[in-house]
Structure 1
Amino acid sequence: MDVLNQLYPSNEQMGRLKSSPDSCEIHLLNLFKFREKAEYVDGRKTDLTGREAYDLYGHPMLKVLEKYGAEVVFYSEVTGLIVGQVEDLWDSFVIVRYPSRQALIDMTSSDEFKVLSVRREAGLAGQLNIETKAP
């Protein structure tokens, strides 16, 4: 199994997401891999770690999520692997509940998300977002 951490959905993934935006409630499992040192696209100098830069994105995002009817269900650090094997573990994860795919699309298209994403991009080496829904 090949694993590719990314920061944004591919065109194919975005097409799938938009194919039925008014779906029922979904949960996203977000697996995060942080940069050792934050790297800003604009080249600004910083002493922040990737995690610190991401936290400057993550904390204000709680209010943005709320605006779109979403909420953090669970957040935790990844501490080890019990079954299976991967080359490199993720650092932490969060599960976010969205009322629909449309809410996710609207939130990630918002000006608030775009402004805060500068910190997200600086802090993350990549991530996986796994969509789930209750049967």
Structure 2
Amino acid sequence: MVNLMRYRAEAVYREVSDAGPGSGVTGREADERYSPIDILHDIGASVVFMGDVAEQLLGDSPVWDRVGVVRYPTRRSFIEMQQREDFREKHLHKEAGMAETIVAGCLPIDPPAGHLGEVAWDDVEYPPSDGDGPLMVIHVLRFAEGDAEADMAAYQTAAFAVASAHGARISGWFGVEGTIIGDGRRWDQVRFNLFPSRAAFMSVLADPSRLEAQRAHREVSIADTYTLLVRPAVDSLAASIQSA
């Protein structure tokens, strides 16, 4: 389950008593109160990715604050969780804190064969450092009609050739089964690509051959998208897919 979150400046509770002690709770603070880690553990689910959005390169609105991914053992476990009284008690904090959200039910898909992940980060031009650590680049995609698949494949061939030299890795690509909460838009895929640093990603972004492929193939293949740069606070995404 992939969750994009935009917080209210101040949480809005249906009942004043629901806010608990203190006043002026921010949306982010309300979401921290929600945090159903114990419930997820009970049903065999786990948070496999969490991070705050550092930059939003594509997609004007909403401007997202955080991205999370929860791995559930089955679809049924997610549905049954919604019926638990302890979950409902926690979820009121989530509702109070969120200005907007997308919750998308997803399954892992096999990325195209390529050479990403073959270059060690110690050997790249821009390795991770204390001031510029690993960066997850998240693409939320709805494809255009027509030849989108062929165009995206052509773009990926060019982009992979550049990104591989800079240490890029695919942490996980997901097909969207359905949007459980959203604004009515349909989405096709969510992609998580990990770079050793922001400098490494920006070098790929500025590469002339990649830019040419973007103009010729990527832009025409996509009907709607967000591109989010996220500094991971929790990241076991790749391992969770490999162990599935």
TM over 0.5: yes
Distance 1:116 1:103 in 2: 17
- Mapped pair 1:117 → 2:91: yes
Aligned residue identity for 2:40 = L
**Counterpart for residue 43 of structure 2:** 68
**Counterpart for residue 42 of structure 1:** 15
Superposed structure 1 runs of 4+ greater than 6 Å apart: none
Distance 1:80 1:66 in 2: 31
Deviation, 1:132, is 1.4
Give 1 or 2 for the bigger CA radius of gyration. 2
Aligned residue identity for 1:56 = R
- SS of the counterpart of 2:39? helix
More RCO (CA 8 Å, sep 6+): 1
Deviation, 1:119, is 1.2
- SS of the counterpart of 1:133? strand
Distance 1:110 1:85 in 2: 35
Deviation, 1:90, is 1.0
Distance 1:124 1:100 in 2: 26
**Counterpart for residue 19 of structure 1:** none
Distance 1:114 1:131 in 2: 20
**2:33 pairs with 56, 67, 72, which one?**
56
Deviation, 1:52, is 0.5
What 5-or-longer segments of structure 2 have no aligned partner?
A: 110-244
What 5-or-longer segments of structure 1 have no aligned partner?
A: 1-27
Aligned residue identity for 1:52 = E
- SS of the counterpart of 2:108? coil
Aligned residue identity for 2:24 = D
Moved more, 38-47 or 63-72: 38-47
Distance 2:93 2:56 in 1: 28
**1:90 pairs with 49, 58, 64, which one?**
64
Q: CA RMSD in A?
A: 1.4
User: Structure 1-normalised TM-score?
Assistant: 0.72
Aligned residue identity for 1:66 = H
Deviation, 1:81, is 2.2
Distance 1:76 1:40 in 2: 25
Equivalenced residue count is 105
Deviation, 1:68, is 0.9
Distance 2:30 2:64 in 1: 17
Give me the identity figure in percent: 30
